[in-house]
């Protein structure tokens, strides 16, 4: 047989397996493309139900829920504000009522003349102090008449306050409009405290303080870190106002007891809750951003990652589905979930660990995130900044414990006509145990009696925390630092709890 015929037969014989290989490759590529363009997220776990169960687990059992009281209070406030003739002045009016001596008018700014010359100066119709005060008083009266204070009082005494969550959608996209509205309520309550204090109405000071603590507690019992941080900020407003008022004059014993009880309820707030909530939010996001193979694994859907929902809500829109062909370069659903569980296990443990012991854990979540491979795109985009919230909780614990100690000192004075010689004298009559300073190595606040005639502020005692530097600086304080005395790396000062209110010159 001629050689050329044998070669032709061999060529035809090779073409058959080559064709099969090409068909298999084409089928494989086609399947990959098909899977990429048809990729849809799995929904094996109902994280909405788990989130509601988590929040409920930290509150007493029962069917009653105080969340509707908060929403109704917000609605009534908005209605009252809308009907006011000075609606545009109410917020500034409340600010002025809280700190009239520290309120800065635009024409008091050092550069006012230069701004005015540049055409950005003070408007001719800027409200006067009298107008601001009148607007604030009018707003407080309207809120009282509308029943807002009554609703907030019920909220403060509600055993359960749980925000209902939608039954579907992405947890990260849940709208939280009430956060801004509760800040407005808090500002009004702060103004109410100051007005009542100036009028000598200790009972109304205590009532407003309790309602403010109720607002803070309602938010700190919810799912997200932003809930928790907003609650802390609201508490700081009332806490600071109360301490100024206690420095300015003693309060009656009954009002102090009511305030002490409100502080004791806040001390029960679980520090780990918002981190457990953020864990569920991120796990839910991972579920929405990956396919699911039925065994807890899946591929990243890159076409959805580029349009993640913002904090204002919404569902991710789809980009080009061909982007999903690159998912092989990114960690799988199982790998991302494992990394998420690892980081949050450490963070939750840190949140439950006292500040002085936290250093022994030797885990910095923010450094861990910085060192995470860039391929972990979801975690880099979605993991919250952790160190800040942990620090904010330390500040909250210090303020809460220090103020509770200060109230006990004032109770001693109200009941016995004098201040204690030492903090130990407060136990057990006014405190079951001495509150802990999270910044002190020994956990103790520092208390010293003073001679009012020689103290620069005319005080009978000083109470302070050593602050972040953990050094007793003898009560040295810097008003420009304030809460920053609790931050690492700030000047060597203490945080003094019973300083008088600053005036505009400070």
Q: Which positions ≥6 away from 395 have C-beta within 8 Å?
A: 232, 236, 483, 486
- Measured between alpha carbons, how far is 345 from 339 in angstroms, rounded to an integer? 10
Domain-terminating residue out of 269, 298, 329: 269
Return the pLDDT at 111.
Answer: 38
pTM above 0.75, yes or no: yes
* 370 domain residue, yes or no: no
* 71 domain residue, yes or no: yes
- Measured between alpha carbons, how far is 500 from 476 in angstroms, rounded to an integer? 14
Return the pLDDT at 134.
Answer: 93
* 149 domain residue, yes or no: yes
Q: Which positions ≥6 away from 326 have C-beta within 8 Å?
A: 302
Tokens 């520092």 locate to 446
Tokens 């579920």 locate to 287
Backbone φ and ψ for 495, nearest 5 degrees, come out as -105, 110
Indicate the number of domains in the chain. 2
User: Do residues 283 and 337 lie in contact, with contact meaning Cβ atoms separated by under 8 Å?
Assistant: yes
Torsion sign (Cα): 467, 469, 474, 480: negative
* 471 domain residue, yes or no: yes
Return the pLDDT at 489.
Answer: 66
* 341 domain residue, yes or no: no
The pair of structure tokens assigned to 122 is 């003070």
User: Do residues 477 and 494 lie in contact, with contact meaning Cβ atoms separated by under 8 Å?
Assistant: yes
Closest CA to 136 of 179, 103, 109, 173: 103
Domain-terminating residue out of 269, 288, 318: 269
* 355 domain residue, yes or no: no
3-state helix vs strand vs coil in the chain, percent to 5: 60, 5, 40
Task: Using CB atoms within 10 Å of the CB of residue 503, give its burial: 0 to 12 exposed, 13 to 18 middle, 19+ buried.
Answer: exposed
* 45 domain residue, yes or no: no
User: Do residues 243 and 498 lie in contact, with contact meaning Cβ atoms separated by under 8 Å?
Assistant: yes
Q: Which 3 state secondary structure label does DSSP give 213?
A: helix
Residue pLDDT tens, the chain, 506 long: 555 555 455 555 566 665 555 555 454 444 444 444 444 667 778 899 999 999 999 999 888 899 999 999 999 999 999 898 888 888 899 999 998 877 765 444 443 444 344 444 444 467 888 999 999 999 999 999 999 999 999 999 999 999 998 877 788 777 788 888 899 999 999 999 999 999 999 999 999 999 999 999 999 999 999 999 999 999 999 999 999 999 999 999 999 999 999 999 998 889 999 999 999 999 998 998 888 888 888 888 877 776 665 433 344 444 566 566 667 778 889 999 999 999 999 899 999 999 888 877 776 777 777 888 888 888 888 777 777 888 899 999 999 999 999 999 999 999 999 999 999 999 999 999 999 999 999 999 999 999 999 999 999 999 999 988 888 888 888 777 777 778 776 667 899 999 999 874 45
Strands laid side by side in the 446-449 sheet: 446-449, 461-465, 495-496
* 367 domain residue, yes or no: no
497 CA to centre of own chain:
22
- Measured between alpha carbons, how far is 172 from 284 in angstroms, rounded to an integer? 8
Give me the domain span that covers residue 214.
Answer: 67-157+170-269
User: Do residues 76 and 138 lie in contact, with contact meaning Cβ atoms separated by under 8 Å?
Assistant: no
CA 214, 220, 222, 225: dihedral to nearest 10 degrees?
A: 150
Closest CA to 94 of 126, 140, 128, 127: 140
End-to-end CA distance of the chain: 111
Question: Distances in Å between the alpha carbon of 362 and those of 34, 349, 461?
Answer: 46, 12, 38
Domain-terminating residue out of 269, 301, 323: 269
Return the pLDDT at 418.
Answer: 96
How many CB atoms within 10 Å of residue 157?
Answer: 13
Say whether both 254 and 397 belong to one domain: no
């Amino acid at each position: 047989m001629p050689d050329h015929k044998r070669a032709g037969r061999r060529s035809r014989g090779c073409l058959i397996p080559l064709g099969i290989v090409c068909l298999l490759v084409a089928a494989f590529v086609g399947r990959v493309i098909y899977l990429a363009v048809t990729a849809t997220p799995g929904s094996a776990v109902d994280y909405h139900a788990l989130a509601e169960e988590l929040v409920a687990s930290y509150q007493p059992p029962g069917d009653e829920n105080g969340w509707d009281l908060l929403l109704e209070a917000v609605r009534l406030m908005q209605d009252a504000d809308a009907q006011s003739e000075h609606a545009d002045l109410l917020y500034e009016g409340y600010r002025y009522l809280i700190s009239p001596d520290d309120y800065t008018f635009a024409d008091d700014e050092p550069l006012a003349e230069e701004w005015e010359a540049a055409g950005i100066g003070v408007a001719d119709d800027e409200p006067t102090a009298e107008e601001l005060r009148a607007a604030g008083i009018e707003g407080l009266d309207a809120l009282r008449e509308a029943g807002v204070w009554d609703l907030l009082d019920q909220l403060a005494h509600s055993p359960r306050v749980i925000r209902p969550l939608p039954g579907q959608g992405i947890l990260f996209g849940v709208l939280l409009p009430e956060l801004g509205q509760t800040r407005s309520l808090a500002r009004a309550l702060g103004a109410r405290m100051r007005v009542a204090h100036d009028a000598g109405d200790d009972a109304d000071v205590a009532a407003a303080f309790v309602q403010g603590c109720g607002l803070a507690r309602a938010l700190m019992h919810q799912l997200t870190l932003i809930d928790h941080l907003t609650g802390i900020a609201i508490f700081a407003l009332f806490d600071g106002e109360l301490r100024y008022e206690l420095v300015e004059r003693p309060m009656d014993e009954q009002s102090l007891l009511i305030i002490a009880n409100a502080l004791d309820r806040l001390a029960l707030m679980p520090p780990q809750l918002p981190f457990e909530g953020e864990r569920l939010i991120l796990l839910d996001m991972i579920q929405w951003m990956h396919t699911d193979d039925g065994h807890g694994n899946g591929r990243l859907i890159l076409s959805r990652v580029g349009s993640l929902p913002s904090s204002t809500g919404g569902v991710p829109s789809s980009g080009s589905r061909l982007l999903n062909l690159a998912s092989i370069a990114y960690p799988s659903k199982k790998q991302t979930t494992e990394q998420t569980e690892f980081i949050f296990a450490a963070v939750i443990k840190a949140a439950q660990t006292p500040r002085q012991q936290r250093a022994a854990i030797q885990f910095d979540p923010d450094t861990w995130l910085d060192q995470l491979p860039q391929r972990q795109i979801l975690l880099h985009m979605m993991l919250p900044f952790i160190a800040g919230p942990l620090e904010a909780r330390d500040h909250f614990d210090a303020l809460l414990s220090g103020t509770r100690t200060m109230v006990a000192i004032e109770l001693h004075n109200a009941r016995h006509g004098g201040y204690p010689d030492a903090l130990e004298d407060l136990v057990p009559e006014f405190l079951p145990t001495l509150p802990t300073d999270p910044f002190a190595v020994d956990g103790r606040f520092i208390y010293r009696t003073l001679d009012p005639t020689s103290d620069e502020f005319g005080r009978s005692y000083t109470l302070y925390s050593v602050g972040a530097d953990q050094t007793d600086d003898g009560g040295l304080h810097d008003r420009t630092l304030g809460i920053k005395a609790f931050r690492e790396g700030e000047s060597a000062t203490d945080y003094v709890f019973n300083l008088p209110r600053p005036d505009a010159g400070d």
